[in-house]
Structures are given as C-alpha cells and as structure tokens.
Structure 1
Amino acid sequence: MAASVPAVRAGTTSTRESKATRETAVRVKNKRAHSTYYWMVWPAVIAFALFHTVPVITGVFYSLTNYAGYGEWNFVGLSNYVNLFKDDRVLQAYGFSFLFAIVATVLTNAISLAIAMGLNAKIVARNFFRGVYFVPYVLAILVIGYVFQFFFSSSLPKILSGIPLIRDNILTNETWAWTAIVGLAVWQACAFTIIIYLSGLQTIPRELYEAASLDGAPAWRQFRSITFPLISAFFTINVVLSLKGFLQVFDPIVALTNGGPGTATESVTLLIFRGGFSGGEFAYQTANAVIFFIVITIVSLFQFKVLQRREADF
C-alpha cells in the first residue's frame, strides 16, 4: 500500500505535465493563428484605406474649396453646399434620379419575383432557364446599351411605325426618353434579383403549400400568407440593393441618351462626372458627391428600418 502512493503521485504529476503541455501547445497554435489572421487582414485594410478612405477624405477636403481640378485653390467653406440647393440643374438631376430609381425598383422586383416563382415551379429545363435569365448580368451594360440604342432608334420605329411615340424615336422625346432607360436597366437588373428570390423560394418547405392546398387556399392566398412572409428578408435585400443601384445609374444613360434630350435624362452621377471632370467644377461636384452619398445612406437606412420591421410583423 505504501509503495502505491508514490505511483499515484507520479501518475498525477504526469497528468498535470501532460495537461500543461497541451495548454502550451494550444496557446502556441492560437498565437500562430492570430498572427496569420493579421497578416491576411492588414494588407486588405491598408489597400481599402489607400483606395477608398483617403480619396473620400481628400474629396471632402476639396469640397470646401473652389478647386477646378487644376491650378490654385482657396477655401470657400460651405458655399459649394449652399449653392447646390439653389442650382436648378442639380435639383432636376436629383428629381430624375429618384423617379427613375423608384420606377425601376418596383418593376425589377415585381418582374423578378414572378419569374423566380415560375422557375421555382416544376417546369421543363428549369436549370437551363435559370442560366439564360442570368446572362444579362454578366454582359457589359455599356455595350448592351448601344445595342438597345440601335433597337430603339432604328428597329422599333420600323416595326411599330403605327405608334407615333415609337415611330419618332422615343430616345429623342424629352418626356418619355427615360422610360427606354428604365427598360434597359430593368432588363439587366432582373438577372441578379431573380437569383436572390430563387434562393429565398428554395428555403420554403413544400409541405406548407400542400397543407394550404388541402385547406382550399387559392394561389394568391398562398402567396400572401406563405410565400411573401417567408421571403421577406430576401425582398428587403433586393429592394435596398435595387434602389441604391438605380439611384447611381450611369452606364445606361450614357449609352442611350447621354443625358439628353437636353438635360431631361441627366442623373446625379452623370452630372457629377460631367461637371467634375470636364466642366471645371471639381470642388463643386465633389460637394455634390458628398451630399449624394449622405442621401443614399439615409435612404438605405430608412429602407432597412421600414422593411425589417415589416419582416418582424409576419
């Protein structure tokens, strides 16, 4: 019995040493993991700061000057920001951008949800059609825009010559030219939006629809009580991304109308580009860009607050 006591103590000591060794190994491993993490993250942080944060701060600085993009400059304080609210061309650009964005967002989400529900059903060659509908998203919008320009200015006037609005080239109509831009933008944007809605629809169990059918619920009732509530988070993502993207519309306008006729289809981004890089209004349009950034941020946060509260209500 006396001889067994040292053996027990030796075993206990060995266990403690083994546990300490394991803890040391874990600490070394965690230290190496943290070191690897920082080596991977810091280059991305530095690159982000150089190519995003520094230019943003520089832009805000120049927005407080009268810098024309070249030559000397002087501080003018907030005068650029004050003058923006008095500029009719700027206000018109904001009005056009919001009108365009709201109409395009509604059409994109309505069409995309309808197509996604069709693709999610049991139809022939479903995967093939999913690929077909995603093609517009991977195409260069500027190139496709010139194709649409030819379509609106040459093809449609001959095909639909009986309709005055189409026959006279809708792109030259100051009142309705923006609808052609909406058509192009929605055609391209639907591709990505459809994929998001499909992801949401595939998370809904089929048993819910079967139970609703047994209870005699019609298709519209199933959509209102099952489909839409369960994909409301995906709806929020699509609406926020769509409105944000359409507010910044640029390529479709350049390809179809270049802001014309006159300034009828001039968006905020196109105005910033024109005035800032070729109009000698670098500081003035930089102030416009700062205001536009704030506007988009507020709109996006407001959308999230409203739509996410709706998600919680279901």
Structure 2
Amino acid sequence: MNKRIAPYYWMTVPAVILFFVFMTLPALQGIYYSFTNYNGFGQGYDFVGFKNYFNLFQDDNVGNAYWFTFKFAIVVTILTNILSLLIALGLNAKIKIRNFFRGIYFLPNILSVLIVGYIFNYLFSNVFPIWGQNLGINALSTNILGSESLAWIGIVIVAVWQSVALNTILYLAGLQTIPTTLYEASNLDGAGKWREFWSITFPLIAPFFTINMVLAMKNSLMVFDQIVALTNGGPGRATQSISHLIYTGGFEGGEYAYQSANSVIYFIVIAVISILQIRFLQRRETDL
C-alpha cells in the first residue's frame, strides 16, 4: 500500500466501522423487526409481512402524531429562518461590540435541549402565570402547557429560541461573502434598503437559505427532547410527535416491531421531504 495513502485508511476505516456498528446495523435490525411481531424482549416472534405497515395507516394515534409533527415543523422552520435572517442582518451592520452579540445569540445552541426544556417548563408553569396575574394579562395567567390547544405553541417558542442560534451563524457566514462594492454601487444608483435586500443580499445568500431551510425542517420533524421536557406528549396526545410516539410505543408500550415499521416510514418521509426541499430551493437559486 502506498505510504501516502495508508494514513487515510487508518483514519477513515475506524470511523466507518463505528458508523456501521452504531448507526447502520441498528437501522437494518429495525427494518428486519418491522416485518415481525417482536415485542422488544425475549426470543420468540413470528414474521407477519407488511401487516404492521398496513395497520399504521389505520391508526388514529399515528395520524395525529404525523399531523402535529408536520404542523410543528412548518411553523418552526418559517419562524426560525425569518428571525435568524433578521438577527443576522442586524449583527452584520456596523455596530459596536457586534462580536459580543454574536456570542450571546449563539449561546442557546450550546445548551442542552433537555435542560432548556425543563427551565421553560418551570417558566410556563410558575413564573409566567404569576406575571400575568400581577399585570392583569389573561393570556399569561394560565399555564399554556396544560391546554390541548395551546401547548404546542410553548414547544414552538422553545424550539425556535434554540434553533435560531445556528441559523443566524450560517446566515452571517453568507453575508460575509457579499462584496461591499455591490452595496456601494447600489447606493450610487439610489436603491433603498428593501431593494438592496431583494436584488443583492437575498440572491447571494440563497445557498445558505437552502441549507438553513433543510436543516430547520429536518430538525423540527425529529423533535423529541423539547416534548419530553415540556409536555411528554400531553395533554392527552395533543403534542405527541412521531419520534415521541415511536419511543413510548416501542420501548414502553410493547410495540417494538410495530413502531419499527413506523420508524421506517418516518425515515422515508424525512428523506423525501429533504430531497424535495433541496431540489426546489436549488432551482430557485438559479432563478434569483
């Protein structure tokens, strides 16, 4: 073996082995068990073919989980990208101590999702209702996490607050690639800020917009930690996401094979949505 090539194998082969053992192999096992009636423990199980997959499309709990997850993912993706882009534009302006503000805005991304979730759970349950009662604001006087119609809004707030950090950094990286001479030329032509944004800024950061949209949607579809910390899927099943349903049903409800089939469908859905997003947004990049 070429001495120059050997180090690359020594660095990549262990990583490939670890990835196969901890990622690929469990995924293949999940696909295998999805065609059985295995309950997650013991040795006995029978092959049932596509029965689990057929039952998924008739399960109301699965349908509700998919509906909640899609609704949550769309709202979080839109809000995250709007807020992060606005913050990035503000931080990119020539203001003092802007590096300090960049660090502050990135702080939520390095905090544990569960810890943040439990902190917000306490705020929604104890702090905000007291503030609402003292200030006479009815909207804050009750714990929204205890309402079937409002609990998902609390999860959205936490998810957006923590997701904005990474997206802001990516947008800032994109803004740094835009030559200042373009803005100088637009000022000479008398273009306003809004015209500058649509004609210069947004077209040139379109690739970063694509990345942020795909990452935000993918992460939102996989929401789990925030739900565990804030509502645990409640009240009732009002905020139960697909990943939470797979976990509780597979590891606590004796539906290991059934939820394995659900996870296979879940993986396909996320992959298809991500691919469609990339193809559509990349096509839009060329049109801008």
Q: TM-score w.r.t. structure 2 length?
A: 0.97
Equivalence for 1:198: 172
* Separation in structure 1 between the aligned mates of residue 52 and residue 154 of structure 2, nearest angstrom: 33
Structure 1 or 2, whichever has the larger Rg, is 1
Of the three residues 272, 276, 280, the one matched with 1:306 is: 280
Shift, 1:54, TM fit: 1.1
Of the three residues 49, 57, 60, the one matched with 1:77 is: 49
- Corresponding position: 1:49 with 2:49: no
1:1-314 → structure 2 map (5 Å cutoff) = 31-71=2-42, 72-161=44-133, 162-314=136-288
Shift, 1:46, TM fit: 1.4
* Separation in structure 2 between the aligned mates of residue 38 and residue 136 of structure 1, nearest angstrom: 37
- Percent sequence identity over aligned pairs: 58
Equivalence for 1:15: none
Shift, 1:155, TM fit: 1.1
In angstroms, what is the RMSD of aligned CA positions?
1.0
Shift, 1:213, TM fit: 1.3
| Paired residue type of 1:273 | Y
Shift, 1:249, TM fit: 0.3
* Separation in structure 1 between the aligned mates of residue 6 and residue 188 of structure 2, nearest angstrom: 59
Q: How many residues align?
A: 285
Shift, 1:51, TM fit: 1.2
Q: 3-state DSSP class of the match of 2:3?
A: helix
Q: TM-score w.r.t. structure 1 length?
A: 0.89
Q: 3-state DSSP class of the match of 1:122?
A: coil
Q: 3-state DSSP class of the match of 1:33?
A: coil
| 1:102-128 Cα shifts (integer Å, max 9, x gaps) | 000000000000000000000110000
Whether the 8 Å CA contact 2:132–2:139 is kept in 1: the answer is: no
Whether the 8 Å CA contact 2:40–2:255 is kept in 1: the answer is: yes
Unaligned runs of 5+ in 1: 1-29
Unaligned runs of 5+ in 2: none
* Separation in structure 2 between the aligned mates of residue 252 and residue 40 of structure 1, nearest angstrom: 35
Whether the 8 Å CA contact 2:151–2:239 is kept in 1: the answer is: yes
